[in-house]
A and B are shown apart, each in its own frame.
Chain A
Amino acid sequence: MEPFFIVKNLWLIPGLPIGAALVITFMGSKRKSAAYGLSVACLALSAVLSFWAFSVVSGHEGISQNVDGSAEIHEDEAEADAGNVFRQTHNFTWISIGFEKIEFGWVLDPLTAVMIAMVSFVALLIFIYSGEYMKQDPRFTRFFAFLSLFTGSMLGVVISNSFLLFFIFWELVGLSSFLLIGFWYHKPSAVAASQKAFLVTRIGDFGLLIGMILLTSSAGNFLFYDEGKGCLETQALLDLLGPAAIGGLTIAGLISLLVFFGAMSKSGQVPFHVWLPDAMEGPTPVSALIHAATMVAAGVFLVARLFPLFDLDPTFVSGVSPSLSVVTWVGAITAFYAACVAVAQTDIKRILAYSTVSQLGYMMMALGVGGVAAGMFHLITHAFFKALLFLGAGSVIHGSHDEQDIRKMGGLRTLMPKTFQVYAIGMLALTGFPFLFSGFWSKEEILTTALHWPASKIPFLLGLCGAFLTAFYMSRQMIYVFHGKNRQQSGSGSIHESPGSMVIPMAVLAAFAVGLSVIGTPIWPWFEGFITGHPVPFRIGELFHLSHLALMVGSTALVFGGYFLAWKIYGSAQSLGENHPDRLSSYQPWLFGFLNRQCHVDELYQKIFVKPFFEIGQFCRTVEEKWNHSLTSIVSAVTLMISWCCRWVDDWLINPGFDYICDRSRRVAGRLSVLQNGQIQNYLRVGGLAIAFLMVIYVLGGMI
């Protein structure tokens, strides 16, 4: 079938923001409104295109033709046959050397469609919000250039159909996150955080790179989907099952574990989570973007994209592939661990950061136990409410003059009523308040599938504990920030509500945090059908299925327990305050301190990794100074001696007239540098630009 127009031009979706980034970079720092307008306009255009692509996918016949019932048949087929998924690609050759060629391309399938729609839309709202938030910053235009590059790279990751192109955009995401986290580079902590983020993710990228090389070399194709020849298609996958690699793993298992390293580092899974909380040093809109739409979602998306590879089960019996078990366990441990740590944090953004790590653990766990649909649904719903929470936190910080310590806040419910309302919606969605909020349904789906996981029930239990802790720490935060009296020393008089351009994006996000629940309830799991390509009917009875109902009641009870406990501990006014120790820490000072220090993971890493490398560096330096130095001084002494001889020969044997001419030309050159300096640079610049100009002519020639 001839690909749709939008498929061929899918590159425009990342291309527009990246183009905007380039233009803004060259625009100069004075033209703030132009930079803002351009980046928002380009992203809005990408968002429109994304929704167009989304509508093409969702309106496709393969999805809609079989809606008339017969759900059972499709249920059975769901495991064996995924042929109904709408998937169109546009591939082209990037480089070919001799008969080897490297191909690029993009793919439009439900996974891509839902991601581009989410990323571009959420990012658009964050852009609008940032226009107000960053208004005072002198490097405003630079900020929007980076922001556009960041979003564009993420969109590129999502649409790539070539592993190499995917990797390029993946690294661009890393680069732009580095630029943005360290945006306030005058703060040493921001610089350190940006380096940490870059290095930690780079460790995982190393695994990803090896995995990519292994996969593409054994499949002989860089493309994911290439009409049966791609490296994620049946033929290539079956070939991968054959040869065994180290430790009883198949080559497919090895590749997927290596790739998972990359996903872990990008998505902040234990033990690579350390960069995510530190990344809070960046401006708050950046945190929102990283945590909701772009960076961390990339890791989850990677697993989802390569899911056919992860899902390969060498035994064909147990139904649980070794790689997916690893994914599940890592996810479950991350979900629980991060929730624990979040309980003892006092920085408003750090609490949210740990909650992101925890939620990412849920997503990974969902991918491991339940497949792409469950994980992606939580990714999408989480993107909306987490963006909302971060923007809300930004609004709080903005309104209370860059205060981030929740112990110094309080009483903002009356001072910032709109922020309070939307923040409350975000918090209820995150904690999974029953029925009304999208977070509830996505969390329920994950827990349900985890309950039915054949290998072990422990991930399920960890998930339940995580849900309880989430309710607890979010309530704790809400109480600290919005309840009681304001505790800021400068007084509450100057605290103000944020302006409309900050509140409106949050309101839109809040609407989605509620509204998205429509597409993922067990009654009508449209989203699951959309991702898997198997249409699902409307089944009201599913809700009252016993297992569903029991689980729902149980987890809801836990969530309410969390709310209640938090209220019990922190609800009374005197328990709050900067000078009072946290109630929890007075119960369990050691545990609280331990969690507050993030279980000393940073210190551990410092001891295990940083220190030895530092020692090695020191050692090399000593060697360099002691040994090499003496060696070089001998060499240099000999050289000096030789050169003295040469100089003597030169001075007395070679015609001194040569020196005279040199002297003359040097004087000429001296005068020359005074004459017309700065012109040839311009000439060369024009020469360079001219090449770009010729390129434009070539492209224009193709358009006429």
Chain B
Amino acid sequence: MLEPLYQDIFKAFLPELILAGTVLFVLLFDLGWLSDAPMARRRTVAGGLSFLGCLAAFFLCFRSQLEIRLSQGMLNVDSLSLLLVSVILVLTGISILLAIESLESPHVGEFFSIILLATIGLLILVSSENMLMIFLGMELTSLSLYILTAFDKRRVQSIEAALKYFLFGGLSAAVLLFGLSLIYSTTGETDLKEVYWILIAKGPLPIGVLGMIMVIAGFGFKIAAVPFHLWAPETYEGAPAPSAAFIASVSKVAGFMVTAKFLLVGLFGMMGSAAWYLIRPGWAPILAVMAAFSMVLGNFAAIRQVGLRRLLAYSAIAHSGYMLLGIISQNSGARGALIYYVTTYAAAMIGAFAVVHLLESQRGNDRLSSLRGLFQSSPVTSLCFGVFIFSLAGIPPLAGFFGKFYLFAEALEPASGVFGLFWLVGLAVITSVVSFYYYLKVLKQVFVMEAMPDTRSFATPPFTPFILVLIASGILLLGCFPHWFTRLIEPAMKAHGF
């Protein structure tokens, strides 16, 4: 293999480098020159700079034709990874814009720079094909997210949630690393492509199987799939709203993509089959069981919640269950559907958490009952919230509907047999019907119930509604014209051959 040119390395890492530069700039501006400025201005400058950094990186990657593979797959830049990087950058940008008005902490510069650091980790996760780099990206992301969760350090819930998140994350990182080392010990390689060939040549070894299971456990934490979901409700509940939005959306996109990549590139030989007529051991049946549990547990637990955050947390677990379908299916088209689904899901989740934040800042808590009569006092916010919730529930013509339809249809596609995953897709459909109940329960509070007589009016900050409308219209448009997005996904998928 040729020695990579330094120029290539630079090109491949450019998005990450831009973000890293932005981090330094933000810190410099915020702590250096603006430290005495009023909060609002500090937030605007720091947030604006971070957004610009994301934007610059986005324009660099979006529709770029770059193809570089650094030695051992340390960084594998191709059309697919560039597409995912762009998606992550867009979602991060939106989260940053929302955070400008919803951030309550005095540590402005730190908040935005840590979000950007987490994003760098996520970019590495989606664009590396090397076990070591993936682990490093995972750690960079996780450590940043722990800090983000603890950012409201005056609030006990925030600290507690962060501690729990950290402990659980530490355990799963250890398990993941152990799994990676076991896989390395069987193959002697860290490059996922090489790992694939060696595992194919050697057949399933017990130690490799153990490694695979530990890797699944490590990633299962990242995507909050049952039984590694325990941290999610507490973290979503305790974290500051902008952090929770970031954890629930952007980090999940990368989490799913890296899981899919690891299993489908590195461990493809151990896939097995979860088809009902042909169950073969491998990661597919394991993920299938995790998916089934996630759907059932997430949707049913969400019904019982009285807090909006916890409700969203459990629905996120359920969504993880649906999205696992995209990895389990043997049909490679399902991977494209997964990208579509996770992106639109993340957008809706960011929006929903923005509304949660508005609600908390106005009413002091996130109870469903606090939503009563929101439509009368704040119609724009309510309509946008309706779009997010409907999209999460999967009601046409919103993006969430098309995402579900696309994903389930691709999962059923007879790639190697007739309707092999029928049982799991059937379960997904049934549980998503269950989910209508609690989503509609939320919307009933907003649109149907009368406001309490003593509630104050609902004041929204000036800028946030614009962004909410932007996200909502994006969801609506992608629902009506899904090919705007799928058109980008399909060639990338083809080029990659996932």
Question: Per DSSP, are chain A's interface residues mostly helix, strand or loop, or mixed?
Answer: helix
Q: Is B478 an interface residue (CB 8 A)?
A: no
Binary B-proximity of A90-102 (CB < 8 A = 1, otherwise 0)? 0001111110000
Closest to B166 in A: A680
Question: Which chain A residues (49-103) contact chain B, with CB distance < 8 Å?
Answer: 93-98
How far apart sit A687 and B164, CA to CA, in the bound complex (Å)? 13
Task: Let me know if A95 and B207 touch, CB within 8 A.
Answer: yes
Q: Which residues of B contact A97 (CB under 8 A)?
A: 185-186, 188
Task: Let me know if B213 and A694 touch, CB within 8 A.
Answer: yes
Contact of B160 among A98, A672, A689 (CB under 8 A): A672
Closest to A672 in B: B160
Q: Known interface pairs A671-B156, A690-B228. Does A680 touch B164 (Cβ–Cβ under 8 Å)?
A: yes
How far apart sit A43 and B188, CA to CA, in the bound complex (Å)? 41
Q: Known interface pairs A680-B168, A701-B286. Does A669 touch B205 (Cβ–Cβ under 8 Å)?
A: no
Q: Is A245 an interface residue (CB 8 A)?
A: no
> How many whole Å from A661's CB to the nearest CB in chain B?
8
How far apart sit A690 and B188, CA to CA, in the bound complex (Å)? 27
Q: Which residues of A contact B290 (CB under 8 A)?
A: 694
> How many whole Å from A703's CB to the nearest CB in chain B?
9
Q: Is A605 an interface residue (CB 8 A)?
A: no
Task: Let me know if A690 and B186 touch, CB within 8 A.
Answer: no
Q: Is A684 an interface residue (CB 8 A)?
A: yes
Q: Is B282 an interface residue (CB 8 A)?
A: yes
How far apart sit A563 and B427, CA to CA, in the bound complex (Å)? 81
Q: Is B395 an interface residue (CB 8 A)?
A: no
Q: Which residues of A contact B210 (CB under 8 A)?
A: 695
Closest to A104 in B: B206
Q: Which residues of A contact B154 (CB under 8 A)?
A: 664, 668
Contact of B213 among A98, A689, A698 (CB under 8 A): A698
How far apart sit A699 and B213, CA to CA, in the bound complex (Å)? 11
Q: Is B414 an interface residue (CB 8 A)?
A: no
Closest to A95 in B: B207
How far apart sit A264 and B73, CA to CA, in the bound complex (Å)? 55
How far apart sit A252 and B188, CA to CA, in the bound complex (Å)? 34
Task: Let me know if A687 and B227 touch, CB within 8 A.
Answer: yes
Q: Is A590 an interface residue (CB 8 A)?
A: no
How far apart sit A58 and B415, CA to CA, in the bound complex (Å)? 52
Q: Is A644 an interface residue (CB 8 A)?
A: no
Contact of A665 among B159, B172, B175, B280 (CB under 8 A): B159
> How many whole Å from A664's CB to the nearest CB in chain B?
7
Q: Which residues of B contact A669 (CB under 8 A)?
A: 159
Task: Let me know if A94 and B168 touch, CB within 8 A.
Answer: no
> How many whole Å from A538's CB to the nearest CB in chain B?
49
Q: Which residues of A contact B214 (CB under 8 A)?
A: 691
Q: Is B202 an interface residue (CB 8 A)?
A: yes
Question: Which chain B residues (202-247) contact chain A, with CB distance < 8 Å?
Answer: 202, 205-207, 209-210, 213-214, 216-217, 220-221, 227-228, 230-231
Question: Which chain A residues (644-677) contact chain B, with CB distance < 8 Å?
Answer: 664-665, 668-669, 671-672, 675-676
Contact of A680 among B167, B213, B227, B286 (CB under 8 A): B167
How far apart sit A683 and B280, CA to CA, in the bound complex (Å)? 30
Q: Which residues of A contact B172 (CB under 8 A)?
A: 687
Task: Let me know if B153 and A698 touch, CB within 8 A.
Answer: no
Q: Which residues of B contact A665 (CB under 8 A)?
A: 153, 159
Q: Known interface pairs A664-B154, A684-B171, A698-B213. Does A693 touch B227 (Cβ–Cβ under 8 Å)?
A: yes
* A675, A683, A698, A702 pick with most chain B CB within 10 angstroms: A698
Q: Which residues of B contact A701 (CB under 8 A)?
A: 272, 279-282, 285-286
* A668, A691, A704 pick with most chain B CB within 10 angstroms: A691
Task: Let me know if B289 and A697 touch, CB within 8 A.
Answer: yes
> How many whole Å from A644's CB to the nearest CB in chain B?
30
Q: Which residues of B contact A690 (CB under 8 A)?
A: 217, 220, 227-228
How far apart sit A93 and B186, CA to CA, in the bound complex (Å)? 11
Task: Let me know if B186 and A96 touch, CB within 8 A.
Answer: yes
Q: Is A553 an interface residue (CB 8 A)?
A: no
Q: Which residues of A contact B160 (CB under 8 A)?
A: 672, 675-676
Q: Which residues of B contact A683 (CB under 8 A)?
A: 164, 167-168, 230-231
Q: Which residues of A contact B156 (CB under 8 A)?
A: 668, 671-672, 675
Task: Let me know if A698 and B285 touch, CB within 8 A.
Answer: yes
Q: Is B163 an interface residue (CB 8 A)?
A: yes
* A675, A690, A702 pick with most chain B CB within 10 angstroms: A690
Q: Which residues of A contact B221 (CB under 8 A)?
A: 687
Q: Which residues of A contact B231 (CB under 8 A)?
A: 683
How far apart sit A499 and B175, CA to CA, in the bound complex (Å)? 52
How far apart sit A96 and B228, CA to CA, in the bound complex (Å)? 30
> How many whole Å from A329's CB to the nearest CB in chain B?
44
Question: Which chain B residues (439-469) contact chain A, with CB distance < 8 Å?
Answer: none
Task: Let me know if A698 and B175 touch, CB within 8 A.
Answer: no
Q: Known interface pairs A680-B168, A684-B168, A694-B217. Does A96 touch B159 (Cβ–Cβ under 8 Å)?
A: no
How far apart sit A690 and B156, CA to CA, in the bound complex (Å)? 29
Q: Is A686 an interface residue (CB 8 A)?
A: yes
Q: Which residues of B contact A689 (CB under 8 A)?
A: 227
Q: Which residues of A contact B205 (CB under 8 A)?
A: 93, 95-96
Q: Known interface pairs A93-B205, A694-B216, A694-B286. Does A686 touch B171 (Cβ–Cβ under 8 Å)?
A: no
> How many whole Å from A186's CB to the nearest CB in chain B?
37
Q: Which residues of A contact B227 (CB under 8 A)?
A: 686-687, 689-690, 693
Task: Let me know if B153 and A668 touch, CB within 8 A.
Answer: yes
Closest to A698 in B: B281
* B160, B186, B210 pick with most chain A CB within 10 angstroms: B160
How far apart sit A669 and B217, CA to CA, in the bound complex (Å)? 29
Binary A-proximity of B127-159 (CB < 8 A = 1, otherwise 0)? 000000000000000000000000001101001
Closest to B283 in A: A698
Question: Which chain B residues (241-282) contact chain A, with CB distance < 8 Å?
Answer: 272, 279-282
Q: Known interface pairs A97-B188, A672-B159, A680-B167. Does A698 touch B286 (Cβ–Cβ under 8 Å)?
A: yes
How far apart sit A98 and B187, CA to CA, in the bound complex (Å)? 6
How far apart sit A668 and B206, CA to CA, in the bound complex (Å)? 46
How far apart sit A478 and B230, CA to CA, in the bound complex (Å)? 66
> How many whole Å from A702's CB to the nearest CB in chain B?
4
Q: Known interface pairs A665-B153, A665-B159. Does A702 touch B281 (Cβ–Cβ under 8 Å)?
A: yes
Task: Let me know if B230 and A687 touch, CB within 8 A.
Answer: yes
> How many whole Å from A398's CB to the nearest CB in chain B?
45
How far apart sit A702 and B217, CA to CA, in the bound complex (Å)? 20
Q: Known interface pairs A676-B160, A701-B285, A702-B281. Does A98 touch B153 (Cβ–Cβ under 8 Å)?
A: no
Closest to A683 in B: B230
How far apart sit A698 and B172, CA to CA, in the bound complex (Å)? 19
Task: Let me know if B188 and A98 touch, CB within 8 A.
Answer: yes
* A665, A675, A687, A699 pick with most chain B CB within 10 angstroms: A687
Question: Which chain B residues (363-389) contact chain A, with CB distance < 8 Å?
Answer: none
The 9 closest A-B pairs by CB, nearest first: A701-B281, A690-B227, A702-B281, A701-B285, A683-B230, A704-B279, A98-B188, A694-B213, A691-B217
- A interface, CB within 8 angstroms of B: 93-98, 664-665, 668-669, 671-672, 675-676, 679-680, 683-684, 686-691, 693-695, 697-699, 701-702, 704
19 A-B pairs with CB atoms under 8 Å apart are: A93-B205, A97-B185, A98-B188, A676-B160, A680-B163, A689-B227, A690-B217, A691-B175, A691-B213, A694-B213, A694-B216, A694-B217, A694-B286, A695-B213, A697-B289, A699-B281, A701-B272, A701-B281, A701-B286
Can you add 20 more A-B contacts, CB < 8 Å, to A95-B205, A95-B207, A687-B227? A93-B205, A95-B186, A96-B205, A98-B188, A668-B154, A668-B159, A672-B160, A679-B164, A680-B164, A683-B164, A686-B230, A687-B228, A687-B230, A691-B214, A694-B286, A697-B285, A697-B286, A698-B209, A698-B213, A701-B272
